[in-house]
Structure 1
């Protein structure tokens, strides 16, 4: 049972993390929007970078992008919380049932991985050249986040057996 509780606790930890991130982005919208604005504008990357044609300077697109990020972070949190509570509710069920009940948590962890790996590492880091910015580089943070999430996901999907 300790393995199941461990998996549930780790899913809850990711749910808590995603909740805090989404909450921070909502309650401190302007400060955190500045990050998205500068990444989209590409105004702090290397001055001689030839990829600046990729910048998005249209304010409503920047706002839409930021709102989409917040929505995906929030959905990650919700799916992880719901998934963890489903698992908690099924803590003492047969292994086969417990394994089938992991789907919502798996969806939440997968979405979280995609938000930080695709959204921040690939789109922000590579497409918008965020890695070139000394002030607005979220690549190291995104890396830590998605590696943590993928490790929890890998742990969670390990098959659980019947309890003894």
Structure 2
């Protein structure tokens, strides 16, 4: 979906803007943000008498090195996010596989951002230097908001992208607009042809000869039955005549026998 791709590009660009603005603020207001690193590493605002004070770093050179490392990590994440957004923007019209491969820079940017804001601020500063005990120099909530935002954007960006069904929207072309009208014409012509098909109407006409044939067969059967009954009648008449002749012959024979005696 093209809209989802645009949303991913915009979100990655927003992460880049945040990281680069943080770097800009740290460079232009170097001393104010340097104090944060100094107090966190020296642990001078933690609970009094806590047994973690052996972890405190009081050398200014280490403060400077840590602060510059943080700025470098933030700048690296911002540049990777910006390059990732530009890369995705350039391939936004390409197939899904190409767009997915272009997400590598965004993944690298999210990794660096996670290392800076989670490992740097939550693990090292928050737990090792007990930043959570400080009421003044505690940046855990701000760090949590950003690295969770970066992870949420990364999850959304890494959702697989399917191929676009249509290319990037362009100005309407009259020829493609006329194509559906031409394609619709055969459908309207085919519809009447289907309606005119006299399949059901011809059915009675086809059945008419069958009735005639049935009647013819019935009449033929009746004729045959009549002939059979006539033949039976003739046969019975013949047998009756034969019986009468036999009786006459028998009577004549009896008469002759009577005369002879």
Same fold (TM over 0.5): yes
Question: Which residue is 2:57 aligned to?
Answer: 56
Per the TM alignment, residue 109 of structure 1 is displaced from its structure 2 partner at its CA by: 1.3
Question: Which residue is 2:81 aligned to?
Answer: 80
Q: Which has the higher contact order (CA 8 A, sep 6+)?
A: 1
1:16-42 superposed Cα distances (whole Å, 9 cap, x missing partner): 000111110011000000000000000
Per the TM alignment, residue 48 of structure 1 is displaced from its structure 2 partner at its CA by: 2.2
Write the distance in 1 (CA, Å) between the matches of 2:100 and 2:3.
15
Write the distance in 2 (CA, Å) between the matches of 1:2 and 1:146.
25
Q: Which runs of 4+ in 1 moved over 6 A?
A: none
For the pair shown, which has the larger CA radius of gyration, 1 or 2?
2
Give me the TM-score of the superposition, normalised by structure 1.
0.98
Question: Which residue is 1:111 aligned to?
Answer: 112
Give me the TM-score of the superposition, normalised by structure 2.
0.62
Does structure 1 residue 91 correspond to structure 2 residue 65? no
1:110–1:153 CA contact under 8 A, matched in 2:
no
Per the TM alignment, residue 114 of structure 1 is displaced from its structure 2 partner at its CA by: 1.6
Matching of residues 141-152 of structure 1 within 5 Å: 141-152=142-153
Write the distance in 2 (CA, Å) between the matches of 1:9 and 1:50.
47
Please, what is the CA RMSD of the aligned residues? 0.6
Which ranges of structure 1 fall in alignment gaps of 5 or more residues? none
Q: Which has the higher helix share?
A: 2
1:90–1:98 CA contact under 8 A, matched in 2:
yes
